[in-house]
Amino acid sequence: MDQIDKKILRLLQEDGNMTTKEIAKRIHLSNTPVYERIKKMERERIIKKYVAILDREKLDRDLIVFCNVTLKEHSKIVGHQFVNDITALEEVVECYNISGDYDFLLKVMVKDMKAYQDFVLNRLGEVENIGSAHSTFVMGEIKQSYQIPIDR
């Protein structure tokens, strides 16, 4: 990947809806090489997909909670089952396997505190082998970015 590819990626991260023509104009190339570079990065899965970023508050997902989870047991089968169960929960928008005092960090989006309580009792509570879950509630978003830093 060269500097031109990196410029294209930066522009697409700012606006994934940007046309090849717009990108070509911004980086001072013709349309065809820009198009070919984008297609190559898509084939190589550098660009995985294009998505719309939604306003969570307009969709009644006002509460963000980070939930630290510890498993009761640490075996391959249990770990895979936990991952399968968690990925099926639509309220869990991100899940990370982490080191330290906890095994997983979940980012959960729900309407409000009552909805989170219902989620913990009726959805997360159904997931087997959870030893403990500790919740941290987001009071305000300071920085939110979907962009991956790309060297200049």
- Give which of 57, 69, 58 is closest to 138, Cα–Cα: 57
Q: How far does Cα 123 stand from its chain's mean position? A: 20
pLDDT, one tens digit per residue, over 42-98 is 999 999 999 999 999 999 999 999 999 999 998 999 999 999 999 999 999 999 999
Is residue 104 one of the residues assigned to a domain?
yes
Is residue 129 one of the residues assigned to a domain?
yes
Q: Quote the pTM value.
A: 0.87
Residue type (1 letter), 51: V
Task: Write down the pLDDT at residue 25.
Answer: 97
Q: Does 68 lie in the same domain as 35? A: no
What range does the domain containing 76 cover? 56-137
- What is the domain count for the chain? 2
C-alpha R_g of the chain: 20
Q: Does 70 lie in the same domain as 38? A: no
CATH number for the domain harbouring residue 8: 1.10.10.10
Q: What is the mean pLDDT of the chain?
A: 95
Q: Does 16 lie in the same domain as 86? A: no
Q: Does 111 lie in the same domain as 38? A: no
Q: Does 94 lie in the same domain as 27? A: no
Task: Write down the pLDDT at residue 152.
Answer: 74
Task: Dump strand ranges (E) for 72-129.
Answer: 92-97, 104-110
The label of the residue with tokens 């001072």 reads 28
Is residue 64 one of the residues assigned to a domain?
yes
